[in-house]
Structure 1
Amino acid sequence: MEEKQTQGAHKVTITGRRNGTISGVADVLSFDVNEVVLETEQGMLMVKGTELHVSRLNLEKGEVDLDGNIDSLTYSDGRGGRRQGESLIGRLFK
């Protein structure tokens, strides 16, 4: 059976808790050395750790590469996708 890939499919790959590749990223909401918050096709994704660094960002392809010590990944909701016309503040405090 042939597997179909949808454009913007979401995928997370973590290698040795030191490197991560995330696809299906619509936006980077915030980042610092301890936390990166991404809007993905599957909802908001919070990556926590230490010495985190966004080594590659390509929003046209929806891809982000992270380096550092990755401690946790947390999704805040499963609806995914950006709602048209809704502000960042509106999305965060819903």
Structure 2
Amino acid sequence: MEERRTVKSRAQNIILESREKLSVSGVEHVTSFDENTIVLETTKGILTIKGNSLDINKLNLDDGNVVVEGTVDAIIYSDRDSIGNKGIGFLGKMFK
């Protein structure tokens, strides 16, 4: 079973510098990542980062900090439940 870290502070900050460097605090878990999409579980919900040549430069889950470098095209929040139900459809949700 995966271990999830709980970040002591509920605050979250996002700093985007020239669309090339993104610093995020309040990160609890890295759900997935590749060069075009990074999905983070944060204290404020699921954070999806889309772009090109994305790379996780620094990762410290004890402090809840992540630094991403590359070209950032979008930063999208979603509810925690939406990531697990993605692609299930209406009937799948009914009989869950």
**TM-score for the superposition, normalised by structure 1:** 0.77
Query: Which structure features the higher share of helix residues?
Result: 2
Please tell me whether Structure 1 or Structure 2 has the larger radius of gyration of its CA atoms: 2
User: 1:20 matched to which residue of 2?
Assistant: 22
- Deviation string 1:45-64 (CA, Å, 9 cap, x unpaired) is 00000000000000000000
Q: Structure 1 counterpart of 2:45, which letter?
A: G
Alpha carbons 1:8, 1:62 under 8 Å: kept: no
Q: Which runs of 5+ in 2 are unaligned?
A: 1-7, 87-96
Q: Which of residues 52, 58, 61 in structure 2 aligns to 1:59?
A: 61
Runs of 4+ more than 3 Å apart: none
Q: Structure 2 counterpart of 1:40, which letter?
A: T
User: 1:93 matched to which residue of 2?
Assistant: 85
Measured after TM superposition, the shift of residue 8 of structure 1 is 4.0
Alpha carbons 1:12, 1:23 under 8 Å: kept: yes
Aligned length: 79
Q: Which runs of 5+ in 1 are unaligned?
A: 1-5, 81-89
RMSD: 2.1
Instruction: Give aligned-pair identity as a percent.
Output: 38
**Partner secondary structure for residue 46 of structure 1:** strand
User: 2:39 matched to which residue of 1?
Assistant: 37
